[in-house]
């Protein structure tokens, strides 16, 4: 019988420990919340849900979103699952509805799987804006997309061409053979190369580094060996570009081979300053979140309904216009050079 008392006691201790641990959890979580005294005067409450939290690009989206919220007097909450799973995004959508948020801004892991929850939200009067990765068309009002395929593909060719005098052999270091965005960019690159201006550039090979650092480096080395006259490399992947820069630096080929692509300035800073990858691009992830929240605010105001041709003035980004399919592109990508790279930190 003594044991029974002990057991009950143990259960109580367990509960006490848990409650203690849980309260500690709340304390550390406060930083996630933007709600504060200012929230009372806010005009709108906007919930920003990235594909998942914890990686720099989405954190920067959140930063931009909150900056826009401050400008507009809105409360912007940034939160989401820790894995890229649509199933894990849905509870965030549902609780945002119950919490009385006015709008949801989301980068969807699966356009269809989040759609029923987003439609439930719309039925309760919330407005939905998708950004980065679109949701099903009937589940959102506007989609804020990354810079369009055409301007990125054409940009990549120009960035490498201008470095080599528009003449010579070039190669592409891509991610995987199946990546939709990579293949779309490669198609534009091939089309652009047919233009008279770029006739002197010859595409020798497309290599695939699988968005893996080691494989990307190995593929770059193979390119150097197979094409001794190679003049330029285009690496439109944030993993491949720094890997290629590292290989070129080690092989002391930065002077003879021009490198361009897409990556964050932080990952390229050291190389770019030493002349490896003197011109490359990416869209500004802070501005991305900033624009998405501005669009959500305008949709709540009734100023944007998703029709082509509608426009808004998005704070420091200036006027932006909606195109086909209720889609508003981010505008042209940013171009980084040794001169301007220190202005950007992401």
Give the shortest CB-215-to-other proteins separation in angstroms: 19
- Candidates 87, 187, 226, 308; binder of other proteins (CB under 8 A) is 87
When asked if residue 71 is in the footprint of other proteins (CB under 8 A), the reply is: no
Give the shortest CB-111-to-other proteins separation in angstroms: 7
Cβ neighbourhood burial of 231 (10 Å; 0-12, 13-18, 19+): buried
Question: For residue 143, what are the β-bridge partners?
Answer: 130, 327
- Candidates 36, 41, 82, 324; binder of other proteins (CB under 8 A) is 82
Give the shortest CB-7-to-other proteins separation in angstroms: 6
Footprint (CB under 8 A) of other proteins, residues 130-189: 136
Distance, in Å, from the CA atom of 12 to the CA atom of 75, rounded to the nearest integer, reads 40
- Candidates 59, 63, 70, 113; binder of other proteins (CB under 8 A) is 113
When asked if residue 1 is in the footprint of other proteins (CB under 8 A), the reply is: no
How crowded is residue 203: how many other Cβ atoms within 10 Å of its Cβ? 16
- Candidates 111, 168, 242, 281; binder of other proteins (CB under 8 A) is 111
Cβ neighbourhood burial of 91 (10 Å; 0-12, 13-18, 19+): exposed
- Candidates 38, 39, 95, 301; binder of other proteins (CB under 8 A) is 95
- Site for other proteins (CB under 8 A): how many residues? 50
Distance, in Å, from the CA atom of 207 to the CA atom of 197, rounded to the nearest integer, reads 24
CB 174 within 8 A of CB 240: yes
Strand, coil or helix: what is 25? helix
Q: What is the 3-state secondary structure (H, E, C) of 115-142?
A: HHHHHHHHHCCCEEEEECCCCCHHHCCE
When asked if residue 39 is in the footprint of other proteins (CB under 8 A), the reply is: no
Of 80 and 261, which CB lies nearer to other proteins in the complex structure? 80
When asked if residue 54 is in the footprint of other proteins (CB under 8 A), the reply is: yes
- Candidates 58, 92, 159, 208; binder of other proteins (CB under 8 A) is 92
CB 303 within 8 A of CB 129: no
When asked if residue 246 is in the footprint of other proteins (CB under 8 A), the reply is: no
Give the shortest CB-335-to-other proteins separation in angstroms: 33
Tabulate helix, strand, coil % of the chain (nearest 5).
50, 20, 35
Question: For residue 258, what are the β-bridge partners?
Answer: 232
Window contacting other proteins (CB under 8 A); options: 1-9, 142-150, 181-189, 291-299: 1-9
Q: What is the contact mask toward other proteins in residues 4 to 23, using x (rule: CB under 8 A)?
A: --xx--xx-xxx-xxx-xxx
When asked if residue 206 is in the footprint of other proteins (CB under 8 A), the reply is: no
When asked if residue 121 is in the footprint of other proteins (CB under 8 A), the reply is: no
When asked if residue 263 is in the footprint of other proteins (CB under 8 A), the reply is: no
Give the shortest CB-125-to-other proteins separation in angstroms: 15
Distance, in Å, from the CA atom of 293 to the CA atom of 281, rounded to the nearest integer, reads 23
For every residue of 214-263, DSSP letters joined together read HHHHHHHHHHHHH-TTEEEEEE-STTHHHHHHHHHHHTT-TTTSEEEEB-
When asked if residue 289 is in the footprint of other proteins (CB under 8 A), the reply is: no
Window contacting other proteins (CB under 8 A); options: 29-37, 182-190, 230-238, 287-295: 29-37
When asked if residue 33 is in the footprint of other proteins (CB under 8 A), the reply is: yes
Window contacting other proteins (CB under 8 A); options: 75-83, 126-134, 196-204, 213-221: 75-83
Distance, in Å, from the CA atom of 50 to the CA atom of 60, rounded to the nearest integer, reads 10
Beta-sheet strand order (sheet of 75-78) = 75-78, 45-49, 103-106, 127-131, 142-145, 327-329
- Residues in contact with other proteins by the rule CB under 8 A: 3, 6-7, 10-11, 13-15, 17-19, 21-23, 25-26, 28-29, 32-33, 35, 52-54, 77, 79-88, 90-92, 94-95, 98-99, 110-116, 136
């Amino acid at each position: 019988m003594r044991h029974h008392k002990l057991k009950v006691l143990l259960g109580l201790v367990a509960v006490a420990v848990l409650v203690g641990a849980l309260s500690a959890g709340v304390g550390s979580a406060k930083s996630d919340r933007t709600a504060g005294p200012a929230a009372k005067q806010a005009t709108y409450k906007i919930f920003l849900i990235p594909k998942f939290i914890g990686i720099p690009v989405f954190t920067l989206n959140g930063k931009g979103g909150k900056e826009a919220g401050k400008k507009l007097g809105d409360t912007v909450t940034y939160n989401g699952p820790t894995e890229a799973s649509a199933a894990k995004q849905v509870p965030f959508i549902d609780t945002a509805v119950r919490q009385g948020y006015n709008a949801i801004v989301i980068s969807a892991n699966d356009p269809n799987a989040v759609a029923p929850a987003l439609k439930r939200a719309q039925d309760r009067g919330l407005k939905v804006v998708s950004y980065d990765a679109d949701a099903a068309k009937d589940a959102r009002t506007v989609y804020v997309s990354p810079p369009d395929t055409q301007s990125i593909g054409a940009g990549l060719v120009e960035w490498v061409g201008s470095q080599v005098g528009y003449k010579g052999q070039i190669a592409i270091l891509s991610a995987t053979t199946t990546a939709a965005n990579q293949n779309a960019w490669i198609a534009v690159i091939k089309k652009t190369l047919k233009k008279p201006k770029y006739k002197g550039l010859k595409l020798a090979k497309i290599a695939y580094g699988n968005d893996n650092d080691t494989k990307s480096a190995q593929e770059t080395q193979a390119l150097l060996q197979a094409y001794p006259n190679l003049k330029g490399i285009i690496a439109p992947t944030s993993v491949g570009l720094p890997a290629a820069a590292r290989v070129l630096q080690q092989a002391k080929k930065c002077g003879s081979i021009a490198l361009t692509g897409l990556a964050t300035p932080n990952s390229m800073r050291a190389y770019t300053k030493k002349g490896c990858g003197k011109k490359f691009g990416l869209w500004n992830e802070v501005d991305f979140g900033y624009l998405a929240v501005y669009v959500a605010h305008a949709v709540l105001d009734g100023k944007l309904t998703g029709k082509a041709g509608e426009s808004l003035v998005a704070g420091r980004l200036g006027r932006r216009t909606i195109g086909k399919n209720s889609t508003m592109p981010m505008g042209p990508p940013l171009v980084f050079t040794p001169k301007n790279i220190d202005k950007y930190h992401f």
